[in-house]
Structure formats: structure tokens, C-alpha cells
Amino acid sequence: MDIVLLMARLVLAGIFLVAGIGKLADLPGSRKAVTGFGVPDRFAPAVGILLPLTELVIGAALVPTGSARWGALAALTLLTAFIVAIGLNLAKGRTPDCHCFGQLHSAPAGWPTIARNGGLAAVAAFILVAGWRDPGASSVAWLGGLSGIGVLLLMGVIIMLGLLTLLGWAVVNLMSQNGRLLTRLDALEATLATGGAPATPAPVAEAGLPVGTTAPAFTLPDLEGNSTTLDSLRKPGVPLMLLFTDPGCGPCNQVLRQVSHWRQVAGDRLGIAVISRGSQDANLVKAREHGLDRVLLQQAREVSQVYGVQGTPAAVILRPDGAVGTPLAGGVDAIQALVASTIDSDNAPESAPLSVGGAVPAIALATLDGDPVDLAAESSTDRVLLFWNPGCGFCQRMVNDLRAWESQRSATSPVLVVVSAGTAEATRAHGFESPVLLDGGQGVGRRFGAHGTPAAVRIDTAGRVASPVASGVTAALGLVRSGSAAAANGHR
């Protein structure tokens, strides 16, 4: 029994330590995960840090015999809390990302997650009950009885397990990135090809079908079991986006959250159809959570394969004539850029730049975490939109000045909103305190009349354009700084 208790302690300790380290390695994801489970936004940063620290303490407490019973009690309590939280969300039809192992593994919470936590809770209960008086063998005392060969064998096993763990982490991390790697490589190649000039990440990947080829026809059931063909999805004169997702794909949730907002912004100028796989029940939950009304189910990956999709999320735009209209976009950033450039290019020939005093139309952009924000919404203070690009040398010269302004911003100053043409990763690295929105295709900047970066424009509290576009470093910084004086004097 002593050996059984020891093994149970070490296994449970290892799981908690890996979970804690994984969450600490991705604190933004941890904060977002606890928010998804219902933790208020103001408490999310603290909970996002305290949770992995608690898991590390529990994992460490399970190893020594002196603290093992208390570690098991804490593990059982935390696992029970997880089970209750997941159960309450499932009862409401919600499946937030569990982010259970941080960067190592993140998937929508569901009944398998409850079953896994239930099994771990049973192990914790076993250690607590069977080992309350005697928690088993010491995790280090038995080392003294090993021979020289035994010690070498033990070291070999530890090294092998470490290598297998690193290999597993690398494989999971590579698969989770999907098409993001291809997108970043394309952006880098474009930059090198222009001799270091700024390049906007393009939704291009070496997968997918060549532009101009006829889109392969298909027939798939919807969530009600009705057969749907590609022709029935198309509308005359309207491009159609096929969005390939998977209910177990974490980044797919970031994209699906934006579908309803894309439809609102695009109106009748872009059709969107989601092609998923997996069970009908899992996809029904996703459809209700994100307000999706056009979800088709493939048996495995039969449609994905004919369209050259190698991972999810991915998307492609079909032209109104039924031909492939764009390269395949893989990953959250590339899909956002694809939608932005498609809507903007469709609207550009007939849309003049917004003029001073005009109302800002409904324009939805995503935050660094993928949450949509409507620029037309009224606010309690003026906003200065700064159209910025992390690959632009002039934009980078502004960073220190912007940070200094952020640190000295008063209550009467306008809110600075950085509208970035770069990827979430490249933009996040600059550490802005102000809100950041992503405009990969720079369509929103052109809509305001900004034809390059950096540039800035002010929006008043009623959602109207309140200044001409200020282009260049000096003019953009001047608008940010002068906006404070204008707000203080009541100029609108």
C-alpha cells in the first residue's frame, strides 16, 4: 500500500505541477479562461495568477509525506470546484475553454473534462482517506537502497521522460499554431522582398486551392440533419466565405465569437458558412454559444481535404461566380485580415472617406484576445484612433512617446485606441496600456482616409468624426496630445 500511495501522490503532483506551469506560461490565456467561466473582469487578472500558483503549491505539497494529506485535501477541494464550475456552464449551454494545461493543451470544457477531473478527484480522495495516518513511502528515502546500476537506470528513465515531455509539448504547440506559422512566414518573406519595408501580414498559405479554380461542390448535413449543397449556400453577386473549424479547437472559438459581428458589418456583401466536424451535440452547443445559424457537418475531413485545409481554423472566400477568390487563410490573425480586406475591397469603389462631423458607421474590430469592439458605439470620453503598424519604422519611433503619454494621461484626456495592422503577437510585444484593435487589411484606416501609418483621427463621445486625419509621426502625436486640451476645454 505504501508504494501505491507514493505512486498516486507523484502522479497527482506531476499533473498539478504541469498544469500550474502551463498556465503561468500563458497568463493572458489563463485570465481569459477564468473570465469565460464567469469570473468578473476586474477579478480575472488576480484569479488568473492565483490559480496556477495554487496548483503549484498543491503539487509541491503532495510530494513530501509530512504535507501529503493536506495537499490531497487541497487537490480534492480544487478539483471539486472545477467540476461544479464546468457543470454549471454546461447546464447553461456554454463550453468555455478550460485552459487546463495552459500552453500545453486547451480545449472547450465538456463532459470528458468533468470525467477527467472526477478521476483525479478520486485519486486525491484515495490519498486523503487511505493515507491520512500513513501517506505512504517517502519519495526520496528509497533512493538510499539503490545500487550504482539502479541509480544510473533511474537517471536514464528521468531523462527519457523529460525528453518525451518536451517532445509532446513541441508537438501540441505546433499543432495549436495551425496556419499562424505560415502567415508569419509569408509576412517575413514579403518584408525581405521589399528590402525591409513594412509589410502587412497577408492571409496566404501554401495549402488550399489556387485562386481562380472552380470551387469543389459538396453536400453536407446541417445541425438539423438537412442536406445542404454549396450551390444553396451561394447568393447571386455575393462572395461566400467557407470557415473550417473544429469544436475541440481553442483558436476556433476566437474566430466563431466574431462571426455574428462580421455578418452585421458586412450585411449582404459577404455570406459566411461554417464547416465543422465532430458530434452534432458538440456543434449544437457551439452554435448556441456563438449565435451561428449556418453550420454544416463533415464526417471526418472530406471537404477540408478537397479544399486543401491542413488545420483549423481556416477560411477561404469564393467569388460570386463560384471560383476560389482568395488564398486559404490559416489562423485567427489571417482570417481576421481576410475578412477585413474582403469587406473593404468590396466597399472601396463606392465609399468616400468619412468626413469631419459625420457619424462613424458600424465597424467591428477584434482586440488582441479576439473580442469584437464596435467603433461606432458611444463612449463617455473622446477617442483618438492611432493607425499603427509594428513593421513600420516610423511607428516604432512613436512607442516611447506613446508610453510616456499613457503614464501621464489625465481623467480629461481622450482614450487612445491603437488600431494595429500587424498580428496580435507582434503588437502585444510593444506593451501598450491603451486598448488595441487589429485591422490586418488596413481597411478601417482607409475608411477614415488614412492611407498609411502612422496616422490618427479623433472620434467624439457621440460617435462622430471630430478631426481631420493627422498623418505622420509629428501630426499623429500632436493629435493625441492636443486631444487632452480639447477635451478639457469642452471642444467637440
Question: Can you give the CATH number for the domain in which 358 is found?
Answer: 3.40.30.10
Residue 472 has pLDDT above 90, yes or no: no
| Rounded Cα gap, residues 364 and 362, in angstroms | 7
pLDDT-derived band at 338, boundaries 50, 70, 90: confident
- In this structure, the answer to whether residues 22 and 120 fall within a common structural domain is yes
> Is residue 136 a part of any domain in this protein?
yes
- In this structure, the answer to whether residues 358 and 314 fall within a common structural domain is no
Domain interval for residue 21:
2-145
CA nearest 109: which of 100, 119, 96? 96
- Give the pLDDT confidence score for residue 245 in this predicted structure: 92
> What mean pLDDT is predicted for residues 106-133?
83
Range scoring the smallest mean pLDDT among 316-320, 329-333, 457-461: 329-333
The residue among 314, 348, 382 that closes a domain is: 348
- Give the pLDDT confidence score for residue 473 in this predicted structure: 86
Q: For residue 475, what is its C-alpha cell?
A: 501630426
pLDDT-derived band at 229, boundaries 50, 70, 90: very high
Residue 182 has pLDDT above 60, yes or no: no
Instruction: Return the percentage of the chain with pLDDT > 90, whole number.
Output: 14
> What mean pLDDT is predicted for residues 208-223?
90
Number of domains in the chain: 3
Residue 244 has pLDDT above 90, yes or no: yes
Residue 187 has pLDDT above 60, yes or no: no
**pLDDT tens, position by position, 46-80:** 888 898 899 889 988 888 888 888 988 999 999 99
Query: Alpha carbon of 319 to those of 85, 209, 217, 354, 444: distances in Å?
Result: 44, 13, 14, 28, 22
- In this structure, the answer to whether residues 324 and 395 fall within a common structural domain is no
> Is residue 201 a part of any domain in this protein?
no
> Is residue 232 a part of any domain in this protein?
yes
Do the Cβ atoms of 241 and 272 come closer than 8 Å?
A: yes
> Is residue 303 a part of any domain in this protein?
yes
- In this structure, the answer to whether residues 453 and 476 fall within a common structural domain is yes
- In this structure, the answer to whether residues 356 and 386 fall within a common structural domain is yes
Residue 166 has pLDDT above 70, yes or no: no
**pLDDT tens, position by position, 72-105:** 899 999 999 989 988 887 776 666 667 676 555 5
More confident residue, 381 or 180: 381
- In this structure, the answer to whether residues 360 and 344 fall within a common structural domain is no
- Give the pLDDT confidence score for residue 198 in this predicted structure: 41
pLDDT-derived band at 203, boundaries 50, 70, 90: very low
Residue 295 has pLDDT above 60, yes or no: yes
> Is residue 338 a part of any domain in this protein?
yes
More confident residue, 260 or 230: 230
More confident residue, 377 or 387: 387
- In this structure, the answer to whether residues 305 and 367 fall within a common structural domain is no
> What mean pLDDT is predicted for residues 97-121?
74
pLDDT-derived band at 390, boundaries 50, 70, 90: confident
- Give the pLDDT confidence score for residue 41 in this predicted structure: 67
- Give the pLDDT confidence score for residue 431 in this predicted structure: 85
> What mean pLDDT is predicted for residues 228-256?
88
- Give the pLDDT confidence score for residue 194 in this predicted structure: 40
pLDDT-derived band at 486, boundaries 50, 70, 90: very low
Residue 267 has pLDDT above 50, yes or no: yes
pLDDT-derived band at 263, boundaries 50, 70, 90: confident
- Give the pLDDT confidence score for residue 161 in this predicted structure: 61
- In this structure, the answer to whether residues 293 and 406 fall within a common structural domain is no
- In this structure, the answer to whether residues 359 and 277 fall within a common structural domain is no
Range scoring the smallest mean pLDDT among 145-154, 299-308, 462-471: 145-154
The rounded mean pLDDT for the chain is 78
> Is residue 200 a part of any domain in this protein?
no
Residue 215 has pLDDT above 90, yes or no: yes
The residue among 320, 348, 376 that closes a domain is: 348
More confident residue, 157 or 459: 459
> Is residue 163 a part of any domain in this protein?
no
- In this structure, the answer to whether residues 47 and 134 fall within a common structural domain is yes
> Is residue 390 a part of any domain in this protein?
yes
- Give the pLDDT confidence score for residue 231 in this predicted structure: 92
- In this structure, the answer to whether residues 341 and 432 fall within a common structural domain is no
Residue 204 has pLDDT above 50, yes or no: no
> What mean pLDDT is predicted for residues 321-339?
84
Residue 193 has pLDDT above 60, yes or no: no
- Give the pLDDT confidence score for residue 484 in this predicted structure: 45
> What mean pLDDT is predicted for residues 416-435?
86
- Give the pLDDT confidence score for residue 196 in this predicted structure: 42
- Give the pLDDT confidence score for residue 1 in this predicted structure: 67
- In this structure, the answer to whether residues 370 and 338 fall within a common structural domain is no
Number of residues that this document lists for the chain: 492
